[in-house]
Amino acid sequence: MKEKVVLAYSGGLDTTALIPWLKETFDYEVICCCVNCGQGNELDGLDRRARISGASKLYIEDVVDEFSDEYIMPCVQAGAVYEHKYLLGTSMARPCIAKRLVEIARKENAVAICHGATGKGNDQIRFELSIKALAPDIRIIAPWRMTDVWTMKSRDDELAFVNAHGIDLPFDASHSYSRDRNLWHISHEGLELEDPSKAPNYDDMLVLSVTPQKAPDKVTDITLTFEAGVPRTLNGQAMKVSEIITELNRIGGENGIGIVDIVENRVVGMKSRGVYETPGGTILVEAHEQLEELCLDRETMETKKKLGSQFAQVVYEGKWFTPLREALQAFVESTQKYVTGEVKLKLYKGNIIKAGTTSPYSLYNESLASFTTGDLYDHHDASGFITLFGLPLKVRAMKLAENEHTR
């Protein structure tokens, strides 16, 4: 009986070419596994494509709710944004996918897991760190780094390879953006984006959204409610987190929300440029932050912002299944107990505008914040506070003046 390999299968040309290549190079039985994190119609026709390419089996694993609840929401609650712009759409999904690949590999008694990530990107790190953490005994095959046996260097080479094996597929060698899509976002790389001096060709690129210029010339009102940091309703309707994100993607996309053009620092040491569409995620993160403004005290907010940045770094670098991520998430979860309330927003041509936030746990006290004197605040108390708060500055200035005088 042949040994088995589980292939992370997207149905694209790269992973389709890997099926006959794995069989010929290692004499493996190839088990394909497509992990559905919300790719939409990209899953159409995968079963037939995998089988005609030589796979003995295809698993299509629906993890949309798991992805939403166990990966997206911890990042939203942490305020995890990499380099102030990237909402971690691909970064969050890779450990979720790797976990299911390991589960299928165990089920099939496979000796190896293969992925099609390139040797220049972050995804190879995210997949492999996750697999090592969950299944250190399983071999990892990364063909794009195995240049002695993986000799294909372009889409033309891959197309010629599958055609030579009698595999008729609906692909051609024409160039297009390199994209990654899931429930949270879609990313675009390649073509004119490889030159930072060029503007993105949004008319040809965008999938989930329109540009702000093409968004309707009218305001869209939305209302979100949260319980303990988790969204529960959208416009008065109770929904699962995945359903809320799906609907926010539609609404946000129509209003030109969440399109960012980023030059980011990859883990492997190079800079790369990409355009990310994250319409629903951008709205959800903004709404959650607005509720936290009311519910969290100053010192907790300051600490959470610092750790949120570290959380983003950990996730971006593929270190999801680590004690550090668990510890950071435990802190974040402890801050969410009272992040409950309602957030109203107005969407207009790429902008998210506050329209009122309420919470039963709001720390905002109108009596304290008002310009009129309230019962809880005596203006005279500020004098002593400022004296003590400014004491180090005063002592330093006195010492400098004393030394200057003695010269």
DSSP 72: I
Contact criterion met (CB below 8 Å) for 357 and 293: yes
> Tell me, what's the pLDDT at 399?
87
> What are the residue ranges spanned by the domains of the chain?
4-71+86-174, 179-296+339-358, 369-406
Which positions are catalytic?
14, 94, 123, 178
Contact criterion met (CB below 8 Å) for 81 and 312: yes
Mean pLDDT for 84-95 is 98
> Tell me, what's the pLDDT at 44?
86
Cα atoms found within 13 Å of the Cα of residue 268, Cβ hemisphere only? 11
398 or 111, greater pLDDT:
111
> Tell me, what's the pLDDT at 173?
56
Helix (H) or strand (E) holding 307: helix 298-316
> Tell me, what's the pLDDT at 402?
87
**Adjacent-strand bridge partners of 97:** none
> Tell me, what's the pLDDT at 405?
79
Q: Does residue 122 have a pLDDT over 60?
A: yes
> Tell me, what's the pLDDT at 285?
98
Mean pLDDT for 379-384 is 87
Average pLDDT over the chain, rounded to an integer:
94
> Tell me, what's the pLDDT at 344?
98
Question: What are the C-alpha distances in Å from 112 to residues 3, 102, 128?
Answer: 9, 9, 12
User: What would the two tokens of residue 57 be?
Assistant: 């089996």
> Tell me, what's the pLDDT at 372?
60
Please name the fold of domain 179-296+339-358.
Argininosuccinate synthetase, chain A, domain 2 (3.90.1260)
CA gap 149, 18 in Å, rounded: 12
Is there a shared CATH topology between the 4-71+86-174 domain and the 179-296+339-358 domain? no
Mean pLDDT for 344-373 is 87
Q: Does residue 367 have a pLDDT over 90?
A: no
Confidence of residue 280 (pLDDT cuts 50, 70, 90): very high
Contact criterion met (CB below 8 Å) for 361 and 344: no
Q: Does residue 205 have a pLDDT over 70?
A: yes
373 or 81, greater pLDDT:
81
Question: What are the C-alpha distances in Å from 287 to residues 34, 225, 226, 298?
Answer: 32, 9, 9, 18
> Tell me, what's the pLDDT at 381?
87
At 242-266, the pLDDT tens digits run 999 999 999 999 999 999 999 999 9
- CA angle, corner 87, sides to 34 and 103, nearest 5? 30
At 318-354, the pLDDT tens digits run 999 999 999 999 999 999 999 999 999 999 999 999 9
43 or 93, greater pLDDT:
93
> Tell me, what's the pLDDT at 353?
98
Percent of the chain with pLDDT over 70: 96
Mean pLDDT for 86-96 is 98
At 50-71, the pLDDT tens digits run 999 999 999 999 999 999 999 9
Mean pLDDT for 87-95 is 98
Distant-in-sequence, close-in-space partners of 165: CB < 8 Å, separation ≥ 6: 20, 54
Q: Can you identify the CATH homologous superfamily of domain 4-71+86-174? A: HUPs (3.40.50.620)
At 131-176, the pLDDT tens digits run 999 999 999 999 999 999 999 988 889 989 999 998 877 766 565 8
Mean pLDDT for 292-303 is 97
Confidence of residue 108 (pLDDT cuts 50, 70, 90): very high
At 28-41, the pLDDT tens digits run 999 999 999 999 88
Mean pLDDT for 178-193 is 95
Confidence of residue 373 (pLDDT cuts 50, 70, 90): low
